[in-house]
Chain A
């Protein structure tokens, strides 16, 4: 069973959060809060020292998580613990290749098998994915594909062949947490992706509010949204008061669950 294979058809909500942020213990509470809303997908970011494709907010979250020397094993244990109350929510890991490599691909898969439904390896391009994809699919874990506005049609076609789970469309030509959303461009590109693949297309990067979520659903053909930086930003907005953070997180998730 892979939860990603039974995602709803429309208005899919995926919530991203960095493991171990702000601390390992607090992180458990953060994810439990997120999970209690039963979003369609939770993305677990494994912290990396050099998160080259992430914006300043997620960078800061990585830094805070790593400050207490969080190990990959601890992150994976956290995910495993949370999976007890997983229900229909899909679990997806988002990480950089060096983390998986250094941990060992087989050991990594062993740790997440039957727990995690999909994985996004940000800096693993399609050209380099063969061996990893094979091992993952043997264990019923989907390798999620990213498509950017710079990906042309020819390349998209190659990339999306046999795609599983969902497709992560990077809305702005930019890094996570950027500010502008160009609905016309998103709609055009999502339409073209949907011609090539039957799995849901989720729009990520730069989605900050209930209004953004509604606009994506109204003005584009996308099947859902991914919210990440905005969830983390709340922590800095309330001056890092953790109890207040949990409350504001709860309120925000209720809002965006439209």
Chain B
């Protein structure tokens, strides 16, 4: 394999990606791309970001050898890259800090964001509080209902939550509304997209900011095991935590990489979010990538127990990595994820978010009694506090006051 160099200057990952937006947004994206290129070379910006990573987020996040889970699986040595220990409880903060520093440099005075599970919303509200910028979060009303703790967190942090009632009332629709807001308020507003989705330069920019995960993991595993891992596993919704872990390893041919999607009630059912297993290439939110769509190109509603994976699209780089067969993608159902959620809590004393529970479920299912002497890094990209109500309801435990 040649050295991996994606995307192209116009934001293409192979044939995927691009900028499919109206002329009201196009000049803004081109301007954003230019500003992003500029700050990439800016040492002061890097230093500022690294300081925040270290002192505000608590990076580097640790690489934990999950001894009990490894024993239970009776297969490979499993390491957790513990981005759930970050300030705000998930990997999302890495990207938000990068983008808000960029927004400041560009002189923007108002921040908007979309959120599904609420993790990106919380992370955005957090950095807005830190930098003293007004923050508006678009969130599907269905997600507001199932992620109440995060809604309260965002409010505490001073953000305004704008409920989205259109479409499926979840992440996809929140993103539509945020894009509309941006079109309306182009001059003063910076849109912090939370995943490696959307039009160029977002997929690249978000990946770059998140790749701190993989860079650290690489160093840490070399130290712990004196070799590179045999496998990387991460969950994929839009795909930012996965790209963050995968990207620094893409040129290491021997490292096998697995992305785990949410198959909802089953990848072959209508109630799924497994875009790459059940979808076809199409255009959603300004980017050409795999999407769940019907024969007329109407985007279907996704379904997953995990609000963070409940998205009918996926980042274009994942579509590319699937097509060049560098990463393999599998689906895990709600039920399987919920079981892994409980298994991990009991065995490791770590309550994972429902998103990485999908990655855990795949690991337990596919590696059981197999791949001994191998080393796996799983991205523990979020903690489960936000999911307690959803999980309790699904398991049948009464948590109402």
- Which residues of A are in contact with B by a Cβ distance under 8 Å? 48-53, 55, 59, 63, 66, 71-72, 96-99, 101-103, 122-128, 145-148, 150-152, 155, 159, 170, 173-175, 178
Pair A174/B183 contact, Cβ less than 8 Å: yes
B22 to A122, Cβ gap below 8 A?
Answer: yes
Q: Check A102 against B23 for contact (C-beta < 8 Å).
A: no
Known contacts A102-B295, A152-B27; A53 and B183 CB within 8 A of each other: yes
Partner of B176, one of A52, A98, A173, A178: A52
Report yes or no: B299 in contact with A49, Cβ–Cβ below 8 A: yes
Q: Are A101 and B283 in contact (CB under 8 A)?
A: yes
Distance in angstroms between the alpha carbons of A102 and B288 in the assembled complex: 12
Chain A residues with CB under 8 Å of B10's CB are: 127
- Nearest to B19 among chain A residues (CB) is A125
Which B residues are CB-close (under 8 A) to A71?
295-296
State whether A101 touches B19 (Cβ < 8 A): no
Given contacts A49-B299, A103-B297, A174-B183, whether A125 and B23 have CB atoms under 8 Å apart is yes
Q: Which residues on B sit within 8 Å (CB–CB) of A150?
A: 23-24, 26-28, 186
Q: Does B326 contact A (CB under 8 A)?
A: no
Q: Does B166 contact A (CB under 8 A)?
A: yes
> What does DSSP make chain B's interface, helix, strand, loop or mixed?
loop
Q: CA A123 – CA B23 in complex, angstroms? A: 8
In the assembled complex, the Cα of A98 lies from the Cα of B10 at a distance in Å of 19
Contact B283 A151 (CB under 8 A): no
Chain B minimum-CB-distance residue to A47: B298
18 new A-B contacts at CB < 8 Å, known A52-B286, A102-B295:
A51-B176, A52-B22, A52-B176, A66-B298, A98-B282, A98-B283, A98-B299, A101-B297, A102-B293, A125-B20, A125-B23, A128-B19, A128-B20, A146-B24, A150-B24, A150-B186, A173-B184, A173-B187
Give B155-171 as 1s and 0s: 1 = Cβ < 8 Å from A's Cβ atoms: 00000000000110000
Once the chains are docked, how many angstroms separate the CA of A102 from the CA of B282? 8
Residue numbers in B under 8 Å from A145 (CB-CB): 23
Closest to A56 in B: B166
Tell whether, in the assembled complex, residue B19 and residue A127 are in contact, meaning their CB atoms are under 8 Å apart: yes
Asked whether, in the complex, the Cβ of B297 is within 8 Å of the Cβ of A99, the reply is: yes
A50-B176, A98-B297 are known contacts. Are A178 and B184 too (CB-CB below 8 A)? Answer: yes
Whether A146 contacts B23 by the Cβ 8 Å rule is yes
Q: Among B22, B284, B293, B299, which residue has its beta carbon within 8 angstroms of that of A53? A: B22
CA distance A63 to B285 in the complex (A): 18
Ordered by A's residue number, 19 sampled pairs between the chains whose C-beta atoms are within 8 Å are A50-B176, A52-B22, A52-B179, A53-B22, A72-B297, A101-B283, A101-B297, A103-B297, A125-B20, A125-B26, A148-B24, A148-B26, A150-B23, A150-B24, A150-B28, A170-B24, A173-B186, A174-B184, A175-B183
Determine whether B18 belongs to the interface, using a CB cutoff of 8 Å to chain A: yes
- Cβ B27 vs Cβ A49 within 8 A: no
How distant is the Cα of A225 from the Cα of B20 in the complex, in angstroms?
A: 26
- Which of B10, B26, B179 has the largest count of A CB atoms less than 10 A from its CB? B26
Query: Which single member of B21, B166, B172 contacts A59 (CB below 8 Å)?
Result: B166
The answer to whether the Cβ of B180 comes within 8 Å of any Cβ in the partner chain is yes
Chain B residues touching A, range? 20 to 34
* Nearest CB of chain B from residue A228's CB, rounded to whole Å: 14
* A125 contact set on B, CB distance < 8 A: 19-21, 23, 26
B297 touches A173 (CB 8 A): no
Chain A nearest CB from B227 CB (Å) reads: 44
1/0 contact string of B1-39 vs chain A (CB within 8 Å): 000000000100000001111111011100000000000
| A97 cross-chain contacts in B, Cβ below 8 A | 20, 283
Instruction: Identify the interface centre among A50, A72, A124, A147: most chain B CB within 10 Å of its CB.
Output: A50
A147 touches B23 (CB 8 A): yes
- Evaluate contact between B18 and A52: CB separation under 8 angstroms: no
* Residue numbers in B under 8 Å from A151 (CB-CB): 23, 26-27
Contacts of A48 in B (CB 8 A): 297-298
- The 5 A-B residue pairs whose C-beta atoms are closest, nearest first, are A102-B297, A53-B22, A49-B298, A98-B297, A146-B23
When each residue 294-326 of chain B gets 1 if its CB lies under 8 Å from chain A and 0 otherwise, what string results? Answer: 011111000000000000000000000000000
Q: Which of A52, A102, A123, A175 has the largest number of chain B CB atoms within 10 A?
A: A52
Within 8 Å CB of A103, what residues of B? 296-297
> Quick one: which of B60-100 are within 8 Å of A by CB?
none
| Contact of B167 with A50 in the complex, beta carbons under 8 Å | yes
Q: How far is the CA of A224 from the CA of B293 in the complex (A)?
A: 37
Tell me the smallest distance from the CB of A117 to a CB of chain B, in Å: 21
B184 — which chain A residues lie within 8 A by C-beta?
173-175, 178
Shortest CB-to-CB span from B116 to chain A, Å, is: 15
The residue in chain A whose Cβ has the minimal distance to the Cβ of B298 is A49
Chain A residues within 8 Å of B26, by CB? 125-127, 148, 150-151
B20: A residues at CB distance < 8 A: 97, 123-125, 128
List B contacts of A122 (CB < 8 A).
22
Q: Are B27 and A155 in contact (CB under 8 A)?
A: yes
A207 to B191, CA, bound (A): 27
Query: What CA separation (Å) do A49 and B166 show in the bound complex?
Result: 10
The chain B residue with its CB closest to the CB of A123 is: B20
Q: Are A148 and B23 in contact (CB under 8 A)?
A: yes
Q: How far is the CA of A148 from the CA of B167 in the complex (A)?
A: 27
Of B21, B23, B176, B299, most buried by chain A (CB within 10 Å of CB) is B23
A151 CA to B298 CA in the complex, in Å?
Answer: 29
Q: Provide the bound-state CA to CA distance between A178 and B20, in Å.
A: 22
